Chain A
Amino acid sequence: MSTQPEQEIQRMAAELEAAKKELEVFSYSVSHDLRAPLRAVDGFSRILVEEYAERLDDDGRRMLGVIRTEVQRMGRLIDALLVFSRLGRQEMEPEQVDMNELAQAVFDELASREPERKLELNLHPLPAACGTRTMIRQVWENLIGNAIKFTKGRQVGEIEIGARDGEDGVPVYYIKDNGAGFDMQLAGKIFGIFQRFHSEEEFPGIGLGLALVQRILHRHGGTIRAEAEAGRGATFSFTLPNPKP
């Protein structure tokens, strides 16, 4: 018996796959082709700074500085696009991941880069997860990295990491900090690519981390949500598929 709905599903799956491929090729090519003109602006403006600066007045030199800053920013945005598009092409290699070990290792590594900061990690026992290790590491790097970054103004940056049982027994991992937080009205936008809620001077960044985290969790069939209050810290909760026994 010919099954109409089944054919329909196959057709849609094929279309979706094609659209996904097209998008990946597009973002890869954009990242590549955008670099060439950028390289020219970067290179020639650098020559101006290095060899012609004394022939400009203060205002001219300032404007040249703006060009240099912005061109470097553009470069970082393009790099970010590349990272993002590469994530879509990366193969999934699910394995059992010890979340306690990973979270602790990532925290130690990131904290060691900020020796002048006072940081405290309260790490509760975490159930193991099942997923692609390098990607889950990226999740922790971004979430812990954010917690460290946004507690910059606190005397002690306090970070709590734990897990609780969610629906159907799927563990919900969470990370909570006492940092700058954000206005909950903006919560819907926080996972958008290149979305930023703070000024570059206050908290530098380009707005890629959480978009990347969400993309990774979606690829694992998981979800992420954020809760916060401006000035009172933020909590991010996420799920990954339940580890196989």
Chain B
Amino acid sequence: MNHELEILLVEDNPADAELTMHALRKHRLANHIVHVEDGQAALDYFFGEGRDVPVQSTVVLLDLKLPKVGGMEVLRQLRADERTKLVPVVVLTSSREDQDVMETYQLGANSYIVKPVDFENFSAAVNNMGLYWMLLSVPTNQTP
């Protein structure tokens, strides 16, 4: 069985994206990160022609304020489609108090992370979703 975790990072802020990838790279998850910068590209990743994304082993890290198609709309479309309605989605937010986060839960988001994304809050989010096995391929005890 292939337990490799694929991460789709949907983030338009280049500094946030770099920091997220840097944090995950330290834990050797970077080989499995696809980074897109707008909502349309995120939808194309799943629904583009000839695409067949293994949704069981994919986690979407979704910023909400995105160009072209907003994060909220991306989430809505993922949940509306039979192929992607179960793909785990972690919403990225600037603030714990963000009203939008509550709304994303109603739309079916699985978890959220207050930025910056680091390995700790990423692991916590993945564990919360019951997807702890996704981290099994990560070597433990490694010094970053």
Contacts and interface: CB of A to CB of B under 8 A. Distances in A.
Contacts of A63: none
30 contacts: A31-B95, A32-B94, A32-B95, A35-B94, A35-B95, A35-B115, A36-B15, A36-B16, A36-B94, A37-B15, A39-B15, A39-B16, A39-B19, A39-B94, A39-B115, A39-B116, A40-B15, A40-B16, A40-B19, A42-B116, A43-B15, A43-B19, A43-B22, A44-B15, A47-B19, A47-B22, A50-B144, A82-B95, A82-B97, A86-B97
A43 B94 contact: no
Interface of A: 31-32, 35-37, 39-40, 42-44, 47, 50, 82, 86
Contacts of B95: 31-32, 35, 82
Interface of B: 13, 15-16, 19, 22, 94-95, 97, 115-116, 144
A26 to B, nearest CB: 16
Q: How would you classify the secondary structure of chain B's contact residues: helix, strand, loop or mixed?
A: loop
Tell me which of A40, A43, A86 has the highest count of chain B C-beta atoms within 10 A of its own C-beta: A43
Nearest to B94: A35
A44 B116 CA distance: 11
A208 to B, nearest CB: 16
Contacts, number: 33
A223 to B, nearest CB: 29
B7 to A, nearest CB: 18
Nearest to A42: B116
Nearest to A50: B144
A43 B22 CA distance: 10
Contacts of A50: 144
A31 B22 CA distance: 26
A42 B118 CA distance: 12
B100 to A, nearest CB: 11
Given A36-B13, A39-B16, A39-B94, 17 more contacts: A32-B94, A32-B95, A35-B115, A36-B16, A36-B94, A37-B15, A39-B15, A39-B19, A39-B115, A39-B116, A40-B15, A42-B116, A44-B15, A47-B19, A50-B144, A82-B95, A82-B97
A39 B118 CA distance: 12
Contacts of A44: 15, 19
Nearest to A39: B116
A31 B144 CA distance: 32
A43 B17 CA distance: 11
Tell me which of A39, A44, A50 has the highest count of chain B C-beta atoms within 10 A of its own C-beta: A39
